[in-house]
Amino acid sequence: MKLRHLAKTLTCTIGLLGLGAPVLAQSTYPDHPVKIIVGLPAGGSVDMIARSLGQKLNTTLQQPFIIDNRAGASGQIGMPAVAKAAPDGYTLTVSPASFLTTNKSIFKTLPYDPEADFTPVARLVNQPMVLVVKDKQKYPTLAAFLAAAKAAPGQITFASSGDGSPQHLGGLMFETRTKVQLLHVPYKGGALAVNDTLAGTVDAMFAVLPEALPHIQAGKLHALGLMSPQRAPKLPNTPTMLEGGIADLSLSAWIGLLAPAKTPRPIIDQLNRAVRTALDAELTAKLGENGIEVAPSSPEELQRTIAADIKLHAELVKAAGLTPQ
């Protein structure tokens, strides 16, 4: 009887230890450096936000968060690397909305599934879009730009950071709402697109505000209109598209943090809490100076946003008559 009782006690003890093991393992996360893959080159707004967040998470979670830029092919190099990584919380991505939404409509096939291959952690920020030009004399106002586009279908060029990028989607929305035809010139990243806009190699860019703001403030680019419901605090004299006479033309380029699918929920929750801590008053003020709105979300809210934007962007691509590549 004593042996039987001892056996039952040991079994119960081992069972309890077994139940506690995953909790113990997860409580040590992270115990070595974490990689954040960014599917865009260094220098753009997504990269800047990833690095700012990584520095904060270094402190919050007491491990290095290393930025790994894998640019090209509109996210089709960086995103699959995350999708195929072990779901252990040590490979993450800071991604623009377009890689998870517009790409599904722009490309016939993708080497990743935007919804099935990732677990959302949190939306990080929202970024308004702004139409900018180099030649202020040729395009002094939004009305002048629109008139020029109508007079020369397919001849006015606009730059983007790649097919399906926020800048590309901004151009598609502008074409759809105004019934004009522009010529899209994709680049491998926002910094390269901005550089050629600054050089006058392309006529215009539907830019994410943070990447264009310093050049607007320096007088090197001219802002014609904001694709937002209200004016930006950093550009009080730039009208919205609605104020310029174009209705239903609002677009925000959000950026999110995601992990591979099947990453354990306790790790996702820990990362979400860490993100909210990281997006503190100091970082909020810093990003605000660059025209970026801090907007952390729950994992579920980001999942719903992705699903809704996939539908919306598909409708825009179809309305623009764009054939998937």
Question: Is the predicted pLDDT of residue 2 greater than 80, yes or no?
Answer: no
Residue 212 included in any domain: yes
Residue 23 included in any domain: no
Residue 95 included in any domain: yes
Query: What is the total count of domains within the chain?
Result: 2
Is the bond preceding residue 236 a cis peptide, omega within 30 degrees? no
Confidence of residue 166 (pLDDT cuts 50, 70, 90): confident
Confidence of residue 238 (pLDDT cuts 50, 70, 90): very high
Across the range 203-222, mean pLDDT stands at: 95
The pLDDT value given to residue 185: 96
Tell whether 111 and 143 lie within a shared domain.
no
Looking up residue 169, the CATH number of its domain turns out to be 3.40.190.10
Tell whether 114 and 193 lie within a shared domain.
no
Confidence of residue 27 (pLDDT cuts 50, 70, 90): low
The pLDDT value given to residue 10: 43
The pLDDT value given to residue 70: 96
Tell whether 154 and 212 lie within a shared domain.
yes
Tell whether 168 and 213 lie within a shared domain.
yes
**What are the tens digits of pLDDT across the range 109-118?**
999 999 999 9
Tell whether 198 and 182 lie within a shared domain.
yes
Tell whether 219 and 258 lie within a shared domain.
no
Residue 14 included in any domain: no
The pLDDT value given to residue 227: 95
Question: Is the predicted pLDDT of residue 232 greater than 70, yes or no?
Answer: yes
Residue 117 included in any domain: yes
Across the range 283-288, mean pLDDT stands at: 92
Residue 61 included in any domain: yes
Tell whether 108 and 141 lie within a shared domain.
no
Question: Is the predicted pLDDT of residue 106 greater than 90, yes or no?
Answer: no
From the CB of residue 308, how many other CB atoms can be counted at a distance below 10 Å?
11
Tell whether 147 and 215 lie within a shared domain.
yes
Residue 18 included in any domain: no
Tell whether 155 and 219 lie within a shared domain.
yes
Domain boundary among 226, 244, 279: 226
Q: Between 21 and 315, where is the model more confident?
A: 315
Q: What is the mean pLDDT of the chain?
A: 90
Domain that holds residue 107: 33-126+254-319
Residue 98 included in any domain: yes
Tell whether 194 and 280 lie within a shared domain.
no
Looking up residue 263, the CATH number of its domain turns out to be 3.40.190.150
Confidence of residue 14 (pLDDT cuts 50, 70, 90): very low
Cα distances (Å, whole numbers) of residue 258 to 37, 199, 306: 10, 35, 12
Tell whether 261 and 219 lie within a shared domain.
no
Tell whether 172 and 221 lie within a shared domain.
yes
The pLDDT value given to residue 19: 44
Domain boundary among 209, 226, 243: 226
Question: Is the predicted pLDDT of residue 284 greater than 70, yes or no?
Answer: yes
Question: Is the predicted pLDDT of residue 297 greater than 50, yes or no?
Answer: yes
Contacts 24+ apart (CB under 8 A), 137-143: 139/203, 139/204, 139/222, 139/224, 140/222, 141/224, 141/244, 142/224, 142/225, 142/239, 142/241, 142/244, 142/245, 142/246, 143/244, 143/245
Across the range 265-276, mean pLDDT stands at: 98
